[in-house]
Chain A
């Protein structure tokens, strides 16, 4: 007789292709809420605002680049629980990602860079990678909750 296991997988990847439009902000937040159990409401807000800023940045870059390729939301669980936003557009430059600093003061409502500064402050372990193929932003879930 064959024995079968019904144990849930201990590692895995979940990927979602999202359109490069504002609706992807709501889609990404909803998807992450469904797979991540947050420690509390405050950590949930912090993580989701950081995610919002990263997805919004990807949407803006796609709009500037004038192409309609999808933005990929990737959730990994297992050894490291993390959320990734993979953007095949122009992405942000390393200089922009490195230069945004918390506590930057400006009264300019449209100031570019405030969103990335916010993301970096709310999720200090955030990682930015840029290559010729686009950019990847990794948001580790550790400290905020667990992927379930």
Chain B
């Protein structure tokens, strides 16, 4: 049994060059309705010149429907600036959440081992 801290840690890495700006947002912990405002703010603060954003959810222990809503808002926001979104998951639970949410293709979900 794990004892959760109930925290959402956001780590944001930006990499690439001027011709191909890319960013990676790593989400660690419980990504739920108690924390989505932080994620929304982090997403909104990303540069509008980005061409590719990867959201790495492999270290999340909770992903609820509010978190899915936040990812959808992010995708809509990135569409407006021509940025491609990719979401990375690894565990069966994370894969199930994405499939049930009907977002596997919409969020360009990729399964990669942690």
Contacts and interface: CB of A to CB of B under 8 A. Distances in A.
Contact of A108 (B34, B66, B72): B72
Contacts of A102: 99-100
B76 A107 contact: yes
A26 B63 CA distance: 14
Interface in B43-99: 61-66, 68-70, 72-73, 75-76, 91-94, 96-97, 99
A111 B103 CA distance: 13
Contact of A52 (B2, B32, B72, B96): B32
A41 interface: yes
B62 A49 contact: yes
Nearest to A29: B4
Interface stretch (A2-10, A70-78, A112-120, A126-134): A112-120
A25 interface: yes
Interface string A51-72: 0110010000000000000000
Interface residues of B, number: 33
Nearest to B70: A109
A97 interface: no
A118 B97 contact: yes
Contacts of A38: 1
Given A25-B33, A41-B61, A122-B93, A56 B1 contact: no
A44 B72 CA distance: 25
27 contacts: A22-B33, A25-B34, A29-B62, A41-B61, A42-B92, A42-B93, A43-B93, A45-B91, A45-B94, A48-B62, A49-B93, A53-B65, A56-B65, A104-B102, A105-B102, A107-B72, A107-B106, A109-B70, A109-B72, A109-B73, A111-B69, A114-B69, A115-B64, A118-B68, A118-B100, A122-B93, A122-B96
Q: Give 4 closest A-B pairs by Cβ, nearest first.
A: A105-B102, A115-B65, A109-B69, A109-B72
